[in-house]
Amino acid sequence: MLSSNARRRNQRGLTLVELIVSFTIMLVLSTMALPLARYKIRRDKEIALRESLKEMRTAIDKYKDDADAGKLGPTKLDTYNYPESLDVLVDGVKMAGTVDVKKRYLRRIPLDPFTHSREWGKRSMQDDPTSSSWGGQNVFDVYTTTTEKAPDGTSYSDW
């Protein structure tokens, strides 16, 4: 017959107390990690939003510079040499003095990281700067259509 000490040496595993302690530690660590993960996801969306807005605004400015320099040929009067839509920047514009040469300013309209769509809010030169509706004459500026706010309290649509 085996003694109780010999039997315990042959047993493997954790006691109930050890399991409770280890699960408690894991619970505390996971509750600390969840807010950090949410912050990281929010921060990544903010970075993507800034990059998308910068990309589109740079394309609009390049279009305006080329139109002002006369490289795009005649433009409509009420556009003030801004693109009529964001699709114009993707489809390309025929260069002045050429037959089939089109200049594209964007490969594609960037995805809005907050709304997960390619629909952006637009402002024309004739619109009020705080307007949330687009007059349709041209695209002077773009903004996200999300109603969420940044941690500092500013609306993402004001970026």
pLDDT tens over the chain, length 159 residues: 556 665 566 667 778 898 999 999 999 998 888 889 999 999 999 999 999 999 999 999 999 999 999 999 888 888 899 999 999 999 999 998 888 889 999 999 999 999 999 999 999 988 888 888 888 899 999 999 999 999 999 999 999
Domain layout of the chain by residue ranges: 15-158
CB 93 within 8 A of CB 101: no
DSSP 46-79: HHHHHHHHHHHHHHHHHHHHHHHTTTT----GGG
pLDDT of residue 131: 82
pLDDT of residue 78: 82
pLDDT of residue 10: 63
CB 137 within 8 A of CB 124: yes
Q: What are 27's two structure tokens?
A: 């619970």
Contacts of 74 (CB under 8 A, 6+ apart): none
Write the pLDDT tens digit of every residue in 57-74. 999 999 999 999 999 988
Q: Which residue has the tokens 């307007």?
A: 131
